[in-house]
Amino acid sequence: MEELNESISKVIAMLTKSDYPVVLTGPGIFTENNNSETVNQENNLMTMLDPEEFTIKRYREDPESFYDQGTPFFSMIYETKPNEVHLALVELEKNNLIKSVITQNIDGLHKEAGSKKVFEIHGTIKTATCTHCERKFAIEDLLSDNSECELPPQCPECGETLKPDIAFYDEPLPADFFKAKEETKQADLMIIIGSKMQTSPDNEIPVPCKNIIVINREPTFYDQKASVIIHENPASVIKTLMEELGKRQLVG
């Protein structure tokens, strides 16, 4: 506990001295007490199908099979709510302690929690676009009375199957990915929460940052470069951080 408190003090010192701090989150921001199965689904959505199958070409040929195999994920994620990490980042933004959130997650929960400046670098499952008429819809608008989305979702305008606004392997990365890279060029501090940062091109995003803080259960790609490394449950760490910030009257 003493080691964690020392690390938290270092994090606060870096936060308060930083001119442009940003946060990058991954699937590890969920915990055992906060629907940990969602973490596995979040991590594995793109591996539910063989990589050769998870392509826009394959989706257009047989969208029903994509939804059939992804049904457990979709059903769960539509019902998942923001947790303590999402809500803490909203407070940090409100108190000008962070400027933005970059996320690998496609669940849309940072925006739902209230974060204003969010870059969803793999897209979001909360909206979908018709590949026929190209109209975009919020999944919330397609939910049934029991808060479940009928799968596969159909375009209300033309009846074709809607494609979730996530990037398939053979699709260009969404605009948010490139906006996030520009955002990082401004940042003088990045806090990586709940991500190993092992895969490219995601692990290119923190490169410009001179100061990096890592909060993740397991070792990450950026441990050697990080100024502070905390290998513990991200939710517990963030809770302790917010409590200490509150004591110092830096949030609230």
* The pLDDT of residue 49 is above 80: no
**pTM (predicted TM-score):** 0.89
pLDDT in tens, 80-130: 889 999 999 999 999 999 999 999 998 899 999 999 999 999 999 889 999
Q: Among 227, 88, 70, 219, which Cα is nearest to 152's?
A: 70
* The pLDDT of residue 35 is above 60: no
Task: Quote the pLDDT of residue 153.
Answer: 84
Question: Does residue 231 carry a catalytic annotation?
Answer: no
- Higher local confidence (pLDDT), 62 or 233: 233
From 86, 110, 122, 132, the catalytic residue: 122
Could you give the residue range(s) of every CATH 3.30.1600.10 domain in the chain? 36-79+124-166
What is d(CA 78, CA 142) in angstroms, rounded to the nearest whole number?
11
pLDDT in tens, 140-179: 887 665 555 677 888 988 988 899 898 888 888 999 999 9
Q: Is 60 exposed, middle or buried (0-12, 13-18, 19+ CB in 10 A)?
A: middle
52 band by pLDDT with thresholds 50, 70 and 90:
low
Average pLDDT of the residues in 43-51: 50
| Span of 21-25, 36-40, 78-82, 103-107 with lowest mean pLDDT | 36-40
Q: Which fold has domain 36-79+124-166?
A: SIR2/SIRT2 'Small Domain' (3.30.1600)
Task: Quote the pLDDT of residue 8.
Answer: 97
Which pair of structure tokens corresponds to residue 5? 């408190």
* The pLDDT of residue 191 is above 70: yes
Task: Quote the pLDDT of residue 148.
Answer: 59
* The pLDDT of residue 251 is above 50: yes
Average pLDDT of the residues in 10-15: 97
Could you give the residue range(s) of every CATH 3.40.50.1220 domain in the chain? 1-34+83-122+173-252
Average pLDDT of the residues in 44-58: 62
What is d(CA 195, CA 214) in angstroms, rounded to the nearest whole number?
9
User: What CATH number should be reported for the domain whose range is 1-34+83-122+173-252?
Assistant: 3.40.50.1220
